[in-house]
Structure 1
Amino acid sequence: MKSSLTTFFLTTTLASAQDWHFVAFTTPNGQEFISQSGNMIVPPIHEAATNYLWPGLQSTDNSGVYQNVLDGRSGSWWFGSGWCCSNPSLPWGGGFNANGGDVLFFNNSRDANATQWVSVIEKNCGEAFATNTFPIADKVMNDAPFAAELYGAWDFGPVVFEDVVLIATGSDTGFCTEYPWNYNGATNVSVVGVQASVDVDTVTCSIESITLWGPA
């Protein structure tokens, strides 16, 4: 499963990035993610650079990544949701500008009828928000990366995700309680406050914080 994630990243148009820095939580065979939520703390930005910071979900067929992306290309941050990049080809969802120190909430959930995924993003408890739907419910989401995708320099400090909740089908909690995959050992990472609980055919993984401190 780890190799399939790498294969997608290294063969998409995004994968011309100079540096990949991410950790990924991976469900075992027969389980899949049905929800991902949390907060991302916006780091400072010093200059325009093609850098993308994001939580996301990847499907088992390597056809794309479902993301909430903090985009620094304009010289200020913009936050929005989307499916990248093909199969299907979909328009990017709505979003909003963000500044250093802002708290960005994200919630990606497959709807109860399993017809689409719904993304809700919000800044500073209601200062700005956007809701978008994506017809990708046929995708089996088995990887949950938290990533800094860099085409420029890592000059913005740590990337912090807080109050993360991953919900998966099944009963195996290993994807939560085992340390996530650190791609190529490329990133200094800390994962704090991990707890797993099992309900009827559902695992809830709660994580106090995931911090990408910088390149290893």
Structure 2
Amino acid sequence: MNIASNNEAVLAVRSATKVYATAGGDFPALREVDLRVAPGEFVTIVGRSGSGKTTLLNLLAGIDRPTSGEVWVGGTGVHALPERRLAAWRGRTVGLVFQFFQLLPTLTVAENVMLPMDFCDTVPARQRRSTAMHLLDQVGIAEQAEKLPAALSGGQQQRAAIARALANDPPVILADEPTGNLDSTTAAAVLDLFTGLARAGKAVVMVTHERDLSGYADRQVTLADGRIDTDLAVPA
């Protein structure tokens, strides 16, 4: 197990609480959560529906802000980042992977991968296509580059989404139920990709309902009622 210390953590959540106002009153989705993830760690977040998993992921991505507490990513206090800077920061720092892929249906696979480069202007224009092709080759679907997403299988679309998440070489990969719509064989291949990304030095945090991830993740964090219930090493 490689539990991050204060100094080496690329992700650090400190006493984070998130309260949502609802018709029935205030609902605390997260309560005083502390979490640290180091570069090279693959951490899964599990728990029942409503336990706070996606809320925590959204705080790490800067999609939502804590009601109280702090969220630090790569030395940046995301909780205090002005709204006008969040999108650009996210594009350079965090790669997001979703259960339903969220590929743009009218763009080819290669164009989908190039999109974050276009948005953040991190890669020279003349190099974007070759960079996209390299990433698609890394995830094993370079031959699908000129197809529209609808022509790909679910597993191929998820691989394309992972390539897109890597477009700007972010230090952090956040994934929300990325294997939820995949068969077991394809899901295992996607988990292998995440394991490889962690071994390459990226911090990978994945929300999942899968509880047996031996051989893939380094740690499993269990949430219950908005609190961290356990934070344990995953057996090799």
Confirm or deny a common fold (TM above 0.5).
no
Structure (1/2) with the larger helix percentage: 2
Q: TM-score scaled to structure 1, two decimals?
A: 0.30
**Greater strand percent: which structure?**
1
TM-score, normalized by length of structure 2?
A: 0.28
Structure showing greater radius of gyration is 2
